[in-house]
A and B are shown apart, each in its own frame.
Chain A
Amino acid sequence: MKLNFILNGENMNIDVPGERRLLDFIREDLHLTGTKEGCSVGECGACTVILNNKAIHSCMTVVGQLEGGELITIEGLEKNGELDAIQKSFIKKSAIQCGFCTSGMVMTAKALLFSNPHPTDEEIKKAISGNLCRCSGYKEIKESIKDAAYNSNKEES
């Protein structure tokens, strides 16, 4: 099908089978390999991307569902060579160990801050409930998200 959508801020017009799994399309066709494949069945959150400001699993999505929408992958967060506030906080707070969950975790956090710029601890916990980290750095991850929210809000005021 002919597909129109926005990828990381750029208009895309592509001919692609509508039923192609979004995760494969991102990694294999677009060569954006920051998005990871963990469980492939919606359990781990490693494949999380943002579609129309909401966190979704790219392993549970087909490309046709992008039509007319705006997709952001982890590669789209960096602006003019500068990392996003969430990425900076993850580094600052050492919220990364092996890193496999990190891009999904960061995308989930980004979507949370889109809809809720001042999340409580409980809201952060609920937001990342679908993202598993096997190195188990949840404490640092939650702190990073809080720190990023604080820094983004400070910049805006």
Chain B
Amino acid sequence: MCSYKLSTILATALVAGTALAQRGPDLGVVATSEQIAEWDRSIGPDGTGLPEGSGTAAAGAAIFAAKCAACHGVDGEGTINDRLVGGQGTIGAERPIKTIGSYWPYATTIFDYVRRAMPYLTPHTLTDDEAYALTAHLLHENGIIGLDDVIDAESLANVAMPNRDNFVRRDGVD
């Protein structure tokens, strides 16, 4: 199913003189849904890809203290590494303080990034419940959700991030 839209893009690329006239030897092996499920850990802004499980800020605080505070500060205020909390209202100012609360447009990015890359020295060690709890903790510390609000696949995509509307896209894609 090489659709109309794609053929248009292809045609444009060909006109632009790129190498798509080349054909490949078709050596890819069809991936199984189990393989894809194992590899595909990215989360879309609409919540696509969020796994089962849940967590609250109450549960996340202890995990943060144990696994994150050494680099990001006890309250996420940023010590040796990025500040994660506060800075609301500074974005247009002389010294913008970009944090989850002041800057990040999507809450799903917290879960995606923490689960793929943190803790920095031991990535891929958090359970999904821990990642949910840490996400809830960081949202709570930034005053976005309550201490006992449950964060899961349902609720995370619906969290309204305060700075969401202050981004303008320059990619030109519809």
A is bound by B: no
What residues of chain B have their CB less than 8 Å away from a CB belonging to chain A?
Answer: none
Q: Chain A interface (Cβ within 8 Å of chain B)? A: none
